[in-house]
């Protein structure tokens, strides 16, 4: 199987990479394992300096890397620049805070001295997706490397250029050659890598189906996993919300990365008292978004990353409409070359429809009318997913109260759900388990070791 870099603007093959043989993969895994003892023995200050340098390399290459994303998976170039800046930020964050997060914690016991130490585990396999091809790698890699682990990156097969660029960035920053390596393999070799005794743990960002497969194999091998899976985030609009702001932020959230974001607002749950005025504002904001070539500065919504993804998305829309949903805006692929799907709004969405139950991974919003706040909360939690949620109200106490009842890993009041290096990130239910970022993320892949001394 070849790993192909295809431009979603026109469907043209830009470059093809031969998949590694199993023997090449095993050799690389062994080389990374061999590099680990020296890396684990490297001082925190040295690792910190290398992460700081990595951030500098990222910022210097920002334009080049943004163009790579635009060409390979269709990310609007101005969003690509922001993604690289965020990667640099997470490197800076762990460079500044990693040693403190990993410092031994003294505990008073019957020993002369006892403490908790955070030791690196070894080699961690990262199975990463295409939609944020740099950020989702760096939010794992920065804390994992700072903790003294080595990393194997199995990136999505449609972003091989991004995968190779990431390895090159760390190399240019001065990291030893085999501390982080990209595996040029398809999904068919993932089980064998997990089975490899040199691999100590696995992290995956992707679909629930992929998460189940990786978790099953890792569980069979008794290896730690962290899973960040899909989301169908509710966006609750209460009667006293700032409707102009909610509509503007809601449209941006739904269509960020051309709608291909796990934490995008997807189910807009609006109380009856403000349903019509919110819908009118929301339709205006969605309709104003510029769809086009992601390399153009004016573009806000680029193509879907692959043609099969566009077809799957439209299938979900068509099935929902067939069961009674109504299209207010968009609703069909754009004619011509490329995998373009316009900003779309569905109303009259009911339980059982794909737009209610499934994740719509593209610029399609389901706007759901509910009677009141009680029903809004019930509908928000009526989902197999539990990644993020957003509540819009001028009563901050009410917003905080509802946040406490939302079954999600993150709850935002009057703001768009986003990841921040300073805060833990992850989900519950079908959205996965474990946490990335903040002090929690760096401690996911360490041996939390008790030391007792008489």
- Alpha carbon distances (Å) from 2 to 126, 179, 181: 20, 25, 19
Residues recorded for the chain: 454
Residue 293 structure tokens: 């070539």
Token reading at 285: 């904001």
Residue of 87, 91, 162, 262 marked catalytic: 262
83 is catalytic: no
Instruction: Compute the distance between CA of residue 367 and CA of residue 431 in angstroms, rounded to an integer.
Output: 21
Distance, in Å, from the CA atom of 330 to the CA atom of 345, rounded to the nearest integer, reads 7
Residue 150 a catalytic site member? no
Distance from C-alpha of 451 to C-alpha of 454, rounded to nearest angstrom: 10
Largest pairwise CA distance in the chain: 75
Query: Quick check: 304 and 260 in contact, CB under 8 A?
Result: yes
Return d(Cα 206, Cα 227) in angstroms, integer.
8
What is the secondary structure of 320-374 as a DSSP string?
HHHTT-EEEE--SPPSSSS-----EEEES--TTSHHHHS---SSEEEEEEESSHH
Catalytic residue among 79, 228, 285, 359: 228
Q: Could you tell me which of 167, 168, 206 has the C-alpha nearest to residue 190?
A: 206
Q: Which residues are catalytic?
A: 228, 262
């Amino acid at each position: 199987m070849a790993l192909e870099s295809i431009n979603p603007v026109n469907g043209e093959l830009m470059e093809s990479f031969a998949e590694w043989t199993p023997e090449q993969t095993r050799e690389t895994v062994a080389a990374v394992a061999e590099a680990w003892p020296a890396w684990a023995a490297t001082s925190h200050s040295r690792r910190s300096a290398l992460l700081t340098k990595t951030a500098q390399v990222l910022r210097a290459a920002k334009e080049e890397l943004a163009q790579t994303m635009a060409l390979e998976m269709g990310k609007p170039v101005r969003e690509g620049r922001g993604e690289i800046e965020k990667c640099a930020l997470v490197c800076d964050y762990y460079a500044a805070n990693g040693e403190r997060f990993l410092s031994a914690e003294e505990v008073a016991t019957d020993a002369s001295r006892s403490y908790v130490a955070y030791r690196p585990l070894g080699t961690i396999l990262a199975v990463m997706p295409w939609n944020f091809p740099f950020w989702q790698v760096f939010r794992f890699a920065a804390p994992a490397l700072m903790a003294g682990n080595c990393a194997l990156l199995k990136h999505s097969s449609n972003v091989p250029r991004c995968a190779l660029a990431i390895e090159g960035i760390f190399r240019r920053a001065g990291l030893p050659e085999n501390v982080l390596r990209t595996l040029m393999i398809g999904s068919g070799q993932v089980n064998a890598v997990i089975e490899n005794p040199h691999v100590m743990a696995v992290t995956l960002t992707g679909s629930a189906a992929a998460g189940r497969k990786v978790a099953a194999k890792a569980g069979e091998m008794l290896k730690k996993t962290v899973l960040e899976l899909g989301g169908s985030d509710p966006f609750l609009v209460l009667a006293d919300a700032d409707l102009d702001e909610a509509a503007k932020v809601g449209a941006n959230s739904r269509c960020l990365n051309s709608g291909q974001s796990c934490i995008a607002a997807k189910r807009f749950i609006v109380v009856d008292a403000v349903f019509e005025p919110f819908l009118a504002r929301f339709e205006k904001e969605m309709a104003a978004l510029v769809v086009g070539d992601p390399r153009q500065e004016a573009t806000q919504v680029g193509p879907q990353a692959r043609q099969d993804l566009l077809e799957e998305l439209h299938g979900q829309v068509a099935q929902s409409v067939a069961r009674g949903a109504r299209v207010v805006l968009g609703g069909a692929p754009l004619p011509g070359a490329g995998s373009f799907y316009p900003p779309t709004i569905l109303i009259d969405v009911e339980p059982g429809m794909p737009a209610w139950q499934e994740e719509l991974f593209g610029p399609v919003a389901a706007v759901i009318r509910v009677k009141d706040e009680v029903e809004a909360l019930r509908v928000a939690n009526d989902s197999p997913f539990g990644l993020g949620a957003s509540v819009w109200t001028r009563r901050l106490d009410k917003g905080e109260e509802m946040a406490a009842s939302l079954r999600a890993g993150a709850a935002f009041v009057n703001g768009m759900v986003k990841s921040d290096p300073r805060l833990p990130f992850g989900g519950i239910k079908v959205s996965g388990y474990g946490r990335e970022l903040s002090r929690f993320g760096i401690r996911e892949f360490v041996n939390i070791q008790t030391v007792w001394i008489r």
